[in-house]
Structure 1
Amino acid sequence: MSRKRWRFWAWPWELKQAGVLGINARNLNYIAHLNPRKLYARVDDKARTKLICHEHEIAVPRTYALISRYGDIAHFGALMGNRQQFVIKPACGAGGRGIMVVAANTREGFVLANGTVLSAADIEHHLASILSGLFSLSGHPDKAIIEARVMPHVAFSEIAVGGTADIRIVICQHVPIAAMIRLPTAESRGRANLHQGAIGVGIDIATGRTTTAVHHNRQITQHPDTLSPVSGLLIPHWQQVLHIAGRLSHALQLGYVGVDIVLDANYGPMVLEANARPGLNIQIANNQGLLKANSHALAVPELKILPV
């Protein structure tokens, strides 16, 4: 009796049959069709996204300063004063590059979330690197956003190591179709970035409960650092999270968008950023393709999102 040989790959027709959305189909059928190119700047520039959120009363981390000129870098100390915690990020960065999380401001210097101690000169050098475009999507000159640090929610204390978990919601035609939570690990150095070693955990859209989880595209059931289970957990404020994502997609006037939301211990759900080209790894985290959900969303009449 012959046994079926295991394969680590699949034919294109097998992926389509399983409902998996590929990058070409995503770009042609959804992004090009639903996202006007002239509106990309609304999400590619995080400072602009935050302004849109403010206009529509959508919660975001408080902005302490926006530095766009090299001459302003010398005033960094005065801008921060005695603030103990803050985050520095490039306005047009991607993939978590250039983000610096300051956990304490001491006599010895600025202590980062990973324990590294930097001097004021080190911070100013980093700000100059951001302005030069070192971390920007296109390499063009950029702006540096200095904002409040999000305080991790207690619900994720055992499954988010060294950083803050964030929730990705994919919106098609203003309808939430898929969700996952990205959990930082020691390997990812506290960053919720799957390519750097964070965990992706699927979320059931209807219930807000975590389902399957992947680490480096391999399914897991426990956090590799804490050994705590990552499946079957109920995400706090779930309906509010979905509502915020839907409202932002309307405000941005983008039909296919990924919205990243964090849960702050004091202020609840807050928007971190949005993406006009949401990645496809969310299918792996959920162990489910996006084609069927996208088709259903396109068949739904456009929704009017009302304020809570």
Structure 2
Amino acid sequence: MDWISPRALNRLGMLNMNRRNVDYIARYNERSAFPLVDNKLKTKLVVAEYGVKTPKLLQVVRQQHEISHFKEMAEDLAGFAIKPAKGSGGKGITVITGRDGDDYIKASGARVDSPFLQRHLTNILAGLYSLAGTPDVAIVESLVESVPSLAKYSHQGVPDIRIIVFQGYPVMAMLRLATTASDGKANLHQGAVGVGLDIGTGRSLNAVQFNRPIKLHPDTGLALENIQIEAWDEMLEMAARCYEATELGYIGVDLVVDATQGPLLLELNARPGLAIQMANGRGLLPRLRTIEAIRRPHFSPQDRSRFAMETFASL
């Protein structure tokens, strides 16, 4: 569909932050479950019990003395990602995509040495990137290599897919593409591109950067129409399963499509942002109300994702 102005989106059911916080997050998300999704390590361990795949865990660094083991573990690795377990918004994540002698090559192309990475691990343990500034744990994961069909659209970063799941039903989705402005991170507030996705097919709809409509990626120059997400049915079902895993009624599920492993869960968010509406050119409220009106909810993740595909497909 054509681009719709923010004023028109309001009339079409734009969910604002106050309503999101009061009517959906506070009402449907038990605060006791927040620590689960606010901690990437806990998330990985829990969702695995529900058949949701995540990047392979290579090492967990909990104490300062364990950092020396990191150097030994990473000696023969060409790529990996270091993440603070309780970080948010991509803060503190360092992605290594290659090696050149003793140097590690970051996704941006910058070179860093082993002492740099060890200092970074120290900062993570000190809580420099954690949500509340409290001591944290560092996790080292295998490198995600995006499928070429999506990787070509992103600039110095792995493209990911954000899916809003309400009461176990996927209700809205977007593809997030890294840019120079976002420093290789899929963060819309920092300048990543958001591409709305048709829930019914996984095909692209509209695209925005800084909440303004765009047709081409600002760095790659590629047109953002006619993008097709691979394994779309599987991704929606994975997102739906995260409802059982967390018991959170309103969550953001962040997935990637790995070239060899297929769809993988990156993380969950109990307070997902609202820019997804701009990327889709339509508001969340009508879809949320549709789910609230269901008298006999679907029991299985497969049935819920199938219902969503049929009900929220773009016409």
Task: Answer yes or no: same fold by TM over 0.5.
Answer: yes
TM-score by length of 2: 0.91
How far has the Cα of 1:117 moved from its partner? 1.2
| Deviations 1:40-75 (CA, angstroms, capped at 9, x unpaired) | 011000000000122222110000001111111122
**1:94 counterpart letter in structure 2:** S
Change in Cα spacing, 1:307 to 1:9, as seen in structure 2 (3 Å) is closer
- Distance in 1 separating the partners of 2:123 and 2:268: 23
Change in Cα spacing, 1:211 to 1:307, as seen in structure 2 (3 Å) is closer
Paired residues of 2:127 and 2:135 also in contact (CA < 8 A): yes
What corresponds to 1:236 in structure 2?
230
Gaps of 5+ in 2: 304-315
What corresponds to 2:166 in structure 1?
172
**1:217 counterpart letter in structure 2:** N
What corresponds to 2:105 in structure 1?
111
Aligned counterpart for 1:135 among listed residues 126, 129, 153: 129
- Distance in 2 separating the partners of 1:306 and 1:176: 10
**1:305 counterpart letter in structure 2:** S
Aligned counterpart for 1:196 among listed residues 181, 190, 193: 190
Give yes or no for the alignment of 1:265 onto 2:298: no
Number of aligned residues: 298
How far has the Cα of 1:244 moved from its partner? 0.3
What corresponds to 2:76 in structure 1?
82
| Deviations 1:174-230 (CA, angstroms, capped at 9, x unpaired) | 111100000111222221111121100000111111000001111011111222111
Change in Cα spacing, 1:242 to 1:307, as seen in structure 2 (3 Å) is closer
Give yes or no for the alignment of 1:69 onto 2:63: yes
What corresponds to 2:310 in structure 1?
none
What corresponds to 2:25 in structure 1?
31
How far has the Cα of 1:302 moved from its partner? 2.8
Aligned counterpart for 1:151 among listed residues 132, 145, 153: 145
Give yes or no for the alignment of 1:216 onto 2:207: no
Paired residues of 2:6 and 2:278 also in contact (CA < 8 A): no
Moved more, 103-112 or 259-268: 103-112
3-state secondary structure, aligned to 2:201: coil
**2:46 counterpart letter in structure 1:** I
Identity over aligned pairs, percent:
41
What corresponds to 2:177 in structure 1?
183
Give yes or no for the alignment of 1:162 onto 2:169: no
Give yes or no for the alignment of 1:305 onto 2:300: yes
- Distance in 2 separating the partners of 1:288 and 1:15: 6
Paired residues of 2:240 and 2:301 also in contact (CA < 8 A): no
- Distance in 2 separating the partners of 1:226 and 1:106: 26
TM-score by length of 1: 0.93
3-state secondary structure, aligned to 1:76: helix
Change in Cα spacing, 1:274 to 1:196, as seen in structure 2 (3 Å) is same
Aligned counterpart for 1:18 among listed residues 9, 12, 15: 12
Q: CA RMSD in A?
A: 1.6
